[in-house]
Structure 1
Amino acid sequence: MKNNSTDFSAHKQDFTYCETVIKKHSKTFYTAFSQLPKEKAQSVYAVYAFCRRADDLIDLAQDEVQLQVLADQLVDFENGIVADDPIWRALAVVFATFPMDIQPFYDMIAGQRRDIDFKQPKDLAELTEYCYYVAGSVGLMLLPILSSHAAEIQEPAKKLGEAMQITNILRDIGEDYQMGRIYLPQDQLAAFGVTEKMFNNSKPTQALVTVWEELANYAETLYDDSLVMMPLIDADCRPALLAAAMIYREQLSVIREKDYAMLKQRQAVSKFRKLQLLGEVKETLQQMDQVI
């Protein structure tokens, strides 16, 4: 890894722009990753800003043309041409500093294209594949920033991203339905007799709760499996990454505590609870070290 501290300083405004994006759109990630050493934190902000732009072009703007523009800019970026834009300028510094892999960035855009022509997943395998493209890919983007052993922990990094995406899906069932999307697998819904009409209810039926719990348990297994990578995460990054995983996972507990009120209102982890979890990170890492 090269020392490009002067490049970070020279692009202070670009990284500030990226920080503004993550601070506005993901308080969970900002709370966790702002604990990183400054240049690593700035690098995470730049990656997040890229992903947020790709996601918003489809979820908010439904702008396939601009998504293609972003894809073309990525091709140019790979070929050494940096678009006149704060995200791309920041990413140029990140790629010059860390041994980044550009393929996950292409995978992220491919994942957004799947939402343009949305098709409900038939089964868990299709859902997991989708989750890789829109979130597991993010784990692979961040890995070279967080670990000098990135090549050795690709699978657990993907699993963490996929766990977080399933958490998003379980949190946003009502919002997604209003956008015409049901991400819960068709075969699971059919097995428990869940009909599309049930997504219009103010409260979920027991059948829908059962499907929700099946997917929540699967996500929790992925969270657990992903933690095997922690010893190969750089020591100065472990607390931040574990905090992100713990806070994100906590959303599942919040939904349970709120009696599964996810059809008409998004549930969130309180600021107080986030602070509690941050306080538990050090102890959790110590316990993990003892197990290892």
Structure 2
Amino acid sequence: MNQPLLDHATRTMAVGSKSFDTAAKLFDAETRRSALMLYAWCRHCDDVIDDQALGFTTGAASTTDAQTRLAGLEAQTRQAYAGEPMQVPAFAAFQEVAFKHAIAPRRAFEHLEGFAMDVREEHYATFEDTLRYCYHVAGVVGLMMAQVMGVRDEHVLDRACDLGLAFQLTNIARDIVEDAHTGRCYLPASWLAQEGLTVETLSDPALRPRVARLAGRLVNEAEPYYASAKAGLAGLPLRSAWAIATAHGVYRRIGLKVQRAGAHAWDKRQSTSRSEKLALLAKASALTLSSRVATPEPRPSGLWQRPA
């Protein structure tokens, strides 16, 4: 086992996602290693595009533009799949995971397309467009994480993708104002128009009640995806199901907090406390056990469908 590589991935998870870090501790050792490695790569790519690589790159990111940094990530991903020695820890980690779990290059490049959408500064006219973005940055991560857990059933993979979509809708709702400060907006333009808002006015404190209504819509839209994902727990190994059920509960709780806080949702970053996480962990345990005997509900036909 490459212990330094695992240590790097563990630190990356602990710093980058406290919400998922709690859940990841529930995986068996082998699955946890692969999940951490995959997360480290995803986090690294995100940081590189935002020029915030946290010391894990060669330093070139700070002197190049986003398009060049994206091209570098794409080139390193191709090198990883070609079996070349990888110097960047996050790419060495990804190479190990991709080969071990037969993650197709298509999945990795679908994820990188999400960063490309940011680099191109794409705008999202409809909610369908927003979901397409959510797929690339999070839905496909759900697919890869499910493969790490041994899932090959396409129906279960659909549910894993749904959870990724739900997570990202929650993230967008939580980060509307923060994103607006950097000129980014993932809300549908049609929604903004209905509230008389623009990307430029999203960060105006006087307009927070309108922004809160949009965040509430996102949280509501995430609900059927969270429900669909819950029905996929039966297709996961027991400990993996417990970990995912915990993450499900933690992220969903964050969305509900954003919704309940209304115009005050962005006074501070919404999160869950340690005690809340422990309570959700216990609740997830019961949900996981019940999933072993319950008959999963069919996936609703109206949900966004991932590319074939």
TM-score (norm 2): 0.85
* C-alpha deviation, 1:259, in angstroms: 3.5
* C-alpha deviation, 1:255, in angstroms: 1.8
Task: Evaluate the alpha carbon distance shift between residue 60 and residue 69 of structure 1 in structure 2; reply closer, same or farther with a 3 A threshold.
Answer: closer
Kept after mapping to 2: 8 A contact 1:131/1:166: yes
Show the counterpart of 1:67.
70
Task: Evaluate the alpha carbon distance shift between residue 206 and residue 281 of structure 1 in structure 2; reply closer, same or farther with a 3 A threshold.
Answer: same
Show the counterpart of 1:23.
14
Check if 1:168 corresponds to 2:163: no
**Range that drifts further, 78-87 or 163-172:** 78-87
* C-alpha deviation, 1:132, in angstroms: 0.6
Q: 1:253 aligns with which of 232, 253, 256?
A: 256
1:24-63 aligned within 5 A: 24-61=15-52, 63=66
* C-alpha deviation, 1:178, in angstroms: 0.3
SS of residue matched to 2:108: helix
Deviations 1:77-126 (A, max 9, x none): 22221312322333333234323233221111111011112133101010
Show the counterpart of 1:101.
104
* C-alpha deviation, 1:145, in angstroms: 1.2
Show the counterpart of 2:246.
243
* C-alpha deviation, 1:204, in angstroms: 4.7
Show the counterpart of 1:4.
none
Show the counterpart of 1:179.
182
Amino acid at match of 2:126: D
Equivalenced residues, count: 283
Deviations 1:142-189 (A, max 9, x none): 111113434442222111111111111100011100001121111112
Show the counterpart of 1:124.
127
SS of residue matched to 1:54: helix
Task: Evaluate the alpha carbon distance shift between residue 206 and residue 87 of structure 1 in structure 2; reply closer, same or farther with a 3 A threshold.
Answer: closer
What is the alpha-carbon distance in structure 1 between the residues aligned to residue 190 and residue 25 of structure 2? 40
* C-alpha deviation, 1:209, in angstroms: 2.4
Give 5+ residue unaligned stretches, structure 1: 1-8
Q: 1:286 aligns with which of 271, 285, 289?
A: 289
Kept after mapping to 2: 8 A contact 1:149/1:232: no
What is the alpha-carbon distance in structure 2 between the residues aligned to residue 197 and residue 118 of structure 1? 14
**Range that drifts further, 75-84 or 202-211:** 202-211
**Range that drifts further, 74-83 or 49-58:** 74-83
Show the counterpart of 2:306.
none
**Range that drifts further, 50-59 or 254-263:** 254-263
Amino acid at match of 1:105: A
TM-score (norm 1): 0.89
SS of residue matched to 1:212: helix
Kept after mapping to 2: 8 A contact 1:163/1:220: yes
Kept after mapping to 2: 8 A contact 1:123/1:186: yes
Check if 1:268 corresponds to 2:271: yes
Alignment identity in percent?
A: 25
What is the alpha-carbon distance in structure 1 between the residues aligned to residue 212 and residue 128 of structure 2? 20
Kept after mapping to 1: 8 A contact 2:20/2:247: yes
Deviating beyond 6 angstroms after TM superposition, the runs of 4 or more aligned structure 1 residues are: none
**Range that drifts further, 147-156 or 133-142:** 147-156
Show the counterpart of 2:223.
220
Amino acid at match of 1:201: D
